[in-house]
Structure 1
Amino acid sequence: MRTLRQESRHVFPSLGRWFRWLAPGLLLKRWMLISAGGVLLVSLGFAIWVKLTPIYYLTQFAGDFLETVTRMVPNYMSGPLVAAVGFLLIWWGQTRTFDSITEVLMPDEDQGLVDVLWTHRRLNRGPRIVAIGGGTGLSTLLRGLKLSSTNVTAIVTVADDGGSSGRLRREIGVLPPGDIRNCLAALADEEKLMTELFQYRFKAGDGLTGHSFGNLFLTAMSEVTGDLERAVAASSKVLAIKGEVLPATLSDVCLWAEMEDGRRIEGESNIPEAGGKIVNIGCTPANPPALPKAIAAIHEADYIIIGPGSLYTSIIPNLLVPEIAEAIAQRQVPCVYICNVMTQPGETDDFTVADHIRAIDRVCGQPLFDAVLVQRRPPSAKAIAHYAKENSYPVVLDSEAVGQLGRRIIRADVIDEDPDTGWVRHNPQQLAGVLLRWYERQNRALYAQESREDMVRSYHREG
Structure 2
Amino acid sequence: AVKGTVLPSTLEDVTLEAIYEDGEKASGESCIPNSRKRISKVMLKPSDAKPLNDALEAVENADLIILGPGSLYTSLIPNLLVKDLTEAITKSKAKKIYIVNVMTQPGETDGYTASDHVKAVIEHSSPNVMEYVIINTGQIPDYLLSRYLSEGSTYVECDNDVIEEMGYTVVADSIVNPTDVAHHSPVKLAQTIMKLI
Query: What is the TM-score normalised by the length of structure 2?
Result: 0.96
Structure 1 residue 252: deviation in Å?
1.1
* Aligned residues of 1:373 and 1:409 also touching (Cα < 8 A): yes
2:10 corresponding residue in structure 1: 249
Structure 1 residue 266: deviation in Å?
0.6
Which of 404, 424, 441 in structure 1 is aligned with 2:182?
A: 424
* Aligned residues of 2:90 and 2:128 also touching (Cα < 8 A): yes
1:331 corresponding residue in structure 2: 92
1:52-80 CA-partner distances (Å, limit 9, x unpaired): xxxxxxxxxxxxxxxxxxxxxxxxxxxxx
Q: Which has the larger radius of gyration?
A: 1
The reply to whether residue 437 of structure 1 matches residue 195 of structure 2 is yes
Look up the equivalent residue of 1:326 and give its one-letter code: E
The reply to whether residue 266 of structure 1 matches residue 27 of structure 2 is yes
Which of 161, 173, 176 in structure 2 is aligned with 1:400?
A: 161
The reply to whether residue 382 of structure 1 matches residue 143 of structure 2 is yes
> 2: distance between equivalents of 1:280 and 1:412?
30
The reply to whether residue 355 of structure 1 matches residue 116 of structure 2 is yes
Structure 1 residue 325: deviation in Å?
0.6
Runs of at least 4 residues off by over 3 Å = none
Q: Which runs of 5+ in 2 are unaligned?
A: none
1:284 corresponding residue in structure 2: 45
The reply to whether residue 342 of structure 1 matches residue 103 of structure 2 is yes
SS in 1 for 2:7: strand
* Aligned residues of 1:354 and 1:401 also touching (Cα < 8 A): yes
> 2: distance between equivalents of 1:288 and 1:301?
22
The reply to whether residue 306 of structure 1 matches residue 70 of structure 2 is no
1:196-227 CA-partner distances (Å, limit 9, x unpaired): xxxxxxxxxxxxxxxxxxxxxxxxxxxxxxxx
1:221-280 CA-partner distances (Å, limit 9, x unpaired): xxxxxxxxxxxxxxxxxxxxxx11111100111100001111110110001111111111
Look up the equivalent residue of 1:272 and give its one-letter code: P
> 1: distance between equivalents of 2:105 and 2:64?
27
Structure 1 residue 366: deviation in Å?
3.1
1:117 corresponding residue in structure 2: none
1:282-340 CA-partner distances (Å, limit 9, x unpaired): 01111210000100011111111111101001100100100111001001221100000
Of structures 1 and 2, the one scoring higher in RCO (CA 8 A, sep 6+) is 2
Structure 1 residue 345: deviation in Å?
0.7
> 2: distance between equivalents of 1:244 and 1:283?
24
Look up the equivalent residue of 1:353 and give its one-letter code: A
Q: Percent identity, please.
A: 36
Structure 1 residue 398: deviation in Å?
1.2
> 2: distance between equivalents of 1:284 and 1:256?
7
Query: What is the TM-score normalised by the length of structure 1?
Result: 0.42
1:97-126 CA-partner distances (Å, limit 9, x unpaired): xxxxxxxxxxxxxxxxxxxxxxxxxxxxxx
Look up the equivalent residue of 2:177 and give its one-letter code: D
Structure 1 residue 433: deviation in Å?
1.8
SS in 1 for 2:128: coil
Look up the equivalent residue of 2:174 and give its one-letter code: D
Look up the equivalent residue of 1:261 and give its one-letter code: D
> 2: distance between equivalents of 1:378 and 1:336?
22
* Aligned residues of 2:10 and 2:49 also touching (Cα < 8 A): yes
SS in 1 for 2:42: strand
Q: Which runs of 5+ in 1 are unaligned?
A: 1-142, 144-185, 188-242, 440-463
Against the structure 1 CA distance between its residues 366 and 287, is the aligned structure 2 distance closer, same or farther, given a 3 Å change threshold? Answer: farther
Structure 1 residue 365: deviation in Å?
3.7
- Hey, which of these two has a bigger chunk of strand by percent? 2
The reply to whether residue 315 of structure 1 matches residue 37 of structure 2 is no
SS in 2 for 1:341: coil
Look up the equivalent residue of 2:94 and give its one-letter code: V
> 2: distance between equivalents of 1:331 and 1:367?
10
* Aligned residues of 2:138 and 2:176 also touching (Cα < 8 A): no
1:123-157 CA-partner distances (Å, limit 9, x unpaired): xxxxxxxxxxxxxxxxxxxx2xxxxxxxxxxxxxx
SS in 1 for 2:127: coil
SS in 2 for 1:258: strand
Look up the equivalent residue of 1:431 and give its one-letter code: L
* Aligned residues of 1:378 and 1:394 also touching (Cα < 8 A): no
| Structural RMSD (CA) | 1.1
Look up the equivalent residue of 1:398 and give its one-letter code: D
Structure 1 residue 426: deviation in Å?
1.7
* Aligned residues of 1:247 and 1:291 also touching (Cα < 8 A): yes
- Hey, which of these two has a bigger chunk of helix by percent? 1
SS in 2 for 1:372: strand
> 2: distance between equivalents of 1:437 and 1:261?
43
